[in-house]
Amino acid sequence: MNLDGNIIREGSTQLFVPGIISERGPGKIEGRVFFNRQMAFNRDVSVAMFHSVVRPRKCLDAMAATGARGARICHEAPGNYRFIINDKDSLACEYARKNVELGSLGNAEVSNADLRCLLAEEKFDYIDIDPFGTPIPFVPSALQGMSRKGVLAVTATDTASLSGTHPGKCRRRYMANSQRNPFLHESGLRIMIGTMVRMAAQEDKGVTPLLCYYADHYFRLFLNVKDGAGRADASLEQLGMMSYDKATGERKVGEGKMGPMWLGPLMDHEAISEAAVPNGLECQERARQHFEIWKEELDVPFYYETNELAAMLKLSPPGRDELLEAMGSIGKVSRTNFSPTGFRTDRPLKEVLETFRSIC
Ligand X SMILES: C[S@@+](CC[C@H](N)C(=O)[O-])C[C@H]1O[C@@H](n2cnc3c(N)ncnc32)[C@H](O)[C@@H]1O
Cα 3 to its chain centre, rounded Å, is 32
Is the distance from CB of 188 to CB of 156 less than 8 angstroms?
A: no
Does the footprint of ligand X cover residue 119 (CB under 6 A)? Answer: no
Does the footprint of ligand X cover residue 297 (CB under 6 A)? Answer: no
The CA distances from residue 33 to 84, 117, 131, in Å, are 18, 21, 13
C-alpha closest to that of 307 among 153, 202, 182, 214 = 182
Range list of β-strands (E), 216-311: 218-227, 239-244, 251-253, 258-262, 304-305
Closest separation between CB of residue 179 and ligand X, Å? 28
Amino acid code (one letter) for 298: L
Taking the least distance from each CB to ligand X, the nearer of 134 and 195 is: 134
Does the footprint of ligand X cover residue 92 (CB under 6 A)? Answer: yes
Closest separation between CB of residue 59 and ligand X, Å? 13
How many Cα neighbours within 13 Å face the side chain of 283? Answer: 17
Binding positions for ligand X, 169-198, rule CB under 6 A: none
The CA distances from residue 71 to 1, 82, 83, 311, in Å, are 20, 12, 9, 47
Taking the least distance from each CB to ligand X, the nearer of 263 and 287 is: 287
Closest separation between CB of residue 186 and ligand X, Å? 24
Number of residues counted as binding ligand X (CB under 6 A): 22
300 C-beta neighbours (distance < 10 Å), count: 17
Does the footprint of ligand X cover residue 65 (CB under 6 A)? Answer: yes
> What does the chain come to in residues?
360
Selected range binding ligand X among 127-135, 170-178, 238-246, 319-327, rule: CB under 6 A: 127-135
Selected range binding ligand X among 87-95, 224-232, 236-244, 338-346, rule: CB under 6 A: 87-95
Helical (H) or strand (E) element with 312: helix 306-313
Residue with CB nearest ligand X? 63
Q: What is the spatial order of strands in the sheet that 258-262 belongs to?
A: 251-253, 239-244, 258-262
Does the footprint of ligand X cover residue 115 (CB under 6 A)? Answer: yes
Is the distance from CB of 232 to CB of 201 less than 8 angstroms?
A: yes
Selected range binding ligand X among 81-89, 186-194, 284-292, 336-344, rule: CB under 6 A: 81-89
Taking the least distance from each CB to ligand X, the nearer of 72 and 251 is: 72
Taking the least distance from each CB to ligand X, the nearer of 8 and 132 is: 132
Does the footprint of ligand X cover residue 132 (CB under 6 A)? Answer: yes
For the chain, the maximum distance between any two Cα atoms, rounded to a whole number of angstroms, is: 68
Among 89, 203, 227, 268, binds ligand X (CB under 6 A): 89
Does the footprint of ligand X cover residue 76 (CB under 6 A)? Answer: no
For residues 29 to 48, the per-residue mask of contacts with ligand X, x marking binding by CB under 6 A and - elsewhere, is: -----xx---x---x-----
Closest separation between CB of residue 350 and ligand X, Å? 45
C-alpha closest to that of 259 among 194, 331, 335, 343 = 194
Q: Note the residues at the interface with ligand X (CB under 6 A).
A: 34-35, 39, 43, 62-66, 68-69, 86-89, 92, 114-116, 130-132
